[in-house]
Amino acid sequence: MNKKYVAIVVLFGILLLLPFTVQAVADLRGDKRFVSFDIFKDIVYTPFVRESNMIAGAMRLDSAWRAARESIAGGAETVDALEPVIGALSDLEAVALTVNAYAQLDTAEAGYKLLKQADTLLASLEDEPESFKVVDSTLKAVVGEFGHFSVVRAISGVKHYGVWTSRYLRAFEKKVEDENALVLAVRPRYQLAVWNIFNDPGEKVVLGAAGDCIGAGCGRDTATASDRWLFYRQDVEFLVQPSPLDERSAKLDNPVQAILRFRDQLKAKGVELLVVVTPGKPSIYPERLTGASPVAGINGADISRGATAAGHGKSILDSLARLGLHTVDLYTPLLAAKADDAKLGPLYLNDDTHWTPRGAELAAGVIAGKVREMVEAGVVDISEPSMEYVASDSVADRMGDIGEMSGLNKFDVFKVQQVTGHVVMQQNIIERIGMAQSSANCLDSLMKDCPERDDSCYFAKNSPCDEDDAACVRALTKSCPKGSAFDSCYHVRMNPCEEDDSLYYDTTVTPFKDDFRKAKILILGDSFSRIYQTDSPVNAGWIAHFAKEMGRPVASIVSDGGASTLVREKLARKAGVLKGKKLLIWEFVERDLRFGAEGWKEVDF
């Protein structure tokens, strides 16, 4: 063989082995697991360790369930007795569903279905005590299935989920790409070089046009932060690829069929469905993406005159409305609200997929308006307003998720954006006895349990504590809030029948929170429901502002990027939360109609 070919083969071999070698050295010098030998370990070691761990988990579940049955029979609260059982089942699921370092148990496997059935039944047992026997038999089946060592199951795991399967190799390759020491050292500098030379922010990101011009020679390099917006590639691809309902998208799950089925499932439980499709940023700000005139919407529509977008999301939303579903159109009000951007700021964040607090609050108002229409039309009965809420300003720093996706934030290419949210707090009203009565009527009401002519009882009710009796005062005012509201609360407690109306209320505020027991409205959502709600500044998202608009408690289940299927699976595992609910609001971003995690599967309740 020609020597130059030998040299080329040797060089190629060195380059091929270089990432593996660098990673092996990094693993040996560090505390992380030895990724380079995961393949070997998952063939000869992991399957048998998994079997042992499943046995231990099944035994813990069996023991916890026996103890729970005894506690419930002894009169203990079901929710308290079941807590160790739920924990033991969760631990068993974590072991059983993770076949090896890179493969999860397929959802079609009998073992997967059995565990999920047990999970769902256990979660609903508190509200459905009549299902006790079914839960008992299901948990016994789980213990029987996973409570013994199975060589056949271990070998089957290697055969169907091992290195010779595409699912394993794809996950392993992704792990190497994400964690390889050589890649981690070289990739950021490569990304920065590509950004500096070509203005390319990465494969997941689309750089918006600067001003009214597109292209490298049109001012991108000198664009200000407000001009140079980032867009999530999937948001853009959703608009330019065929509609999910197009015949060219026949391989995709049909979202309309899944939504209709979910509507019917909820109706069977006495719950109405309201569908909210959240517009992606490029649907509302196409000019920031393309550089077109700021008054031109999709297909040239003049949004300054209230025209709506003509993208796939709005089209599918309209088709849902024609099929008789209750829907909320956020496209029209968001596009119209852009006219006030110069004064109030944009509706979406520069370097993020999500809306600003202004956009979230606008959405909350529109959704609340639709719910009020449904109430007035007699479609749904969610009772009278029963809560008072107040809001206060709070400033938070937001590092955009698209900027994070680009990998350039470590070089401070994209800056933190500061936003002002309005944190919602629940206002509690403590009523004084005889609030709307005269002082005499208040005393009569206060003393109705006192024996006739018992002056000591009268004195104790009307003057519960001498001010120098510190122990009594502490006991009386222990539920009074700290801070400026304490004095008012203290005065009310010490003077229960004073005629001054201004003292009949003691108002305090507590953080907004989900109330699954009292709420008649349940919200399912994605990261648009999470942002500002559980992120900083907390309780400033659209959910909290919707509750404030409605004056009612609400509850929510949120799954980032999983509002198409994953959030319904969460609900199915906790179907008991539907008890007492009259309305379910289902919010998901428009791109999920095509790209939703796990597609649009049918989920059984």
- Does residue 184 fall inside a structural domain? no
- Does residue 491 fall inside a structural domain? yes
Task: Characterize 233-243 residue by residue with b for buried, 16 or more Cβ atoms within 10 angstroms of its Cβ, and e for exposed.
Answer: bbbbebbeeeb
- Does residue 26 fall inside a structural domain? no
Number of structural domains in the chain: 3
Q: Residue holding tokens 């579903």?
A: 325
Euclidean distance between CA atoms 73 and 64, whole angstroms:
14
Question: Is the pLDDT score of 75 beyond 90?
Answer: no
**pLDDT score at 482:** 58
Residues 345, 212, single domain; the answer is: yes
Question: Is the pLDDT score of 223 beyond 70?
Answer: no
Does this model's pTM top 0.75? My answer is: no
- Does residue 521 fall inside a structural domain? yes
Residues 366, 456, single domain; the answer is: no
**pLDDT score at 178:** 74
Range in 270-274, 285-289, 420-424, 503-507 the model is least confident about: 503-507
Domain termination residue (choose one: 503, 531, 551): 503
Residues 233, 353, single domain; the answer is: yes
* Averaged pLDDT, 463-475: 72
264, two tokens? 């019917």
pLDDT confidence band for 24 (50 / 70 / 90): low
Who wins on pLDDT, 548 or 468?
A: 548
Domain that holds residue 489: 433-503
Residues 244, 291, single domain; the answer is: yes
Residues 348, 215, single domain; the answer is: yes
Residues 378, 268, single domain; the answer is: yes
Query: Of the spans 299-313, 347-361, 559-573, which averages the highest pLDDT?
Result: 347-361
399, two tokens? 């590092």
Average pLDDT, the chain: 82
**pLDDT score at 295:** 47
Domain termination residue (choose one: 450, 477, 503): 503
Question: Is the pLDDT score of 20 beyond 80?
Answer: no
Residues 51, 160, single domain; the answer is: yes
Of 149, 129, 53, residue with least CA distance to 96:
53
HSE-up (13 A, CA, CB side) for residue 229: 30
Euclidean distance between CA atoms 131 and 125, whole angstroms:
6
Residues 250, 302, single domain; the answer is: yes
- Does residue 326 fall inside a structural domain? yes
Query: Euclidean distance between the first and final Cα of the chain, in Å?
Result: 68
Above pLDDT 70, what percent of the chain?
79
Residues 336, 475, single domain; the answer is: no
Question: Is the pLDDT score of 320 beyond 90?
Answer: yes
Question: Is the pLDDT score of 83 beyond 70?
Answer: yes
pLDDT confidence band for 343 (50 / 70 / 90): very high
Q: What is the pLDDT of residues 487-497, one digit of tens each?
A: 666 666 777 66
- Does residue 4 fall inside a structural domain? no
Q: What is the pLDDT of residues 26-35, one digit of tens each?
A: 666 665 555 6
* Averaged pLDDT, 136-164: 92
Task: Characterize 56-65 residue by residue with b for buried, 16 or more Cβ atoms within 10 angstroms of its Cβ, and e for exposed.
Answer: ebbebbbebb
pLDDT confidence band for 274 (50 / 70 / 90): very high
Residues 366, 472, single domain; the answer is: no
pLDDT confidence band for 313 (50 / 70 / 90): very high
Euclidean distance between CA atoms 376 and 387, whole angstroms:
19
Q: What is the pLDDT of residues 558-572, one digit of tens each?
A: 998 889 999 998 888
**pLDDT score at 228:** 74
- Does residue 24 fall inside a structural domain? no
Q: What is the pLDDT of residues 356-401, one digit of tens each?
A: 999 999 999 999 999 999 999 999 998 888 788 989 999 999 888 9
Domain termination residue (choose one: 503, 530, 561): 503
What DSSP line would sit under 356-402, residue for residue?
Answer: PHHHHHHHHHHHHHHHHHHHHTTS----S---EEEEEEEEEEE--HH
Question: Is the pLDDT score of 576 beyond 70?
Answer: yes
**pLDDT score at 474:** 73
**pLDDT score at 32:** 58
- Does residue 546 fall inside a structural domain? yes
Residues 437, 537, single domain; the answer is: no
Residues 371, 226, single domain; the answer is: yes
pLDDT confidence band for 209 (50 / 70 / 90): confident
* Averaged pLDDT, 244-255: 88
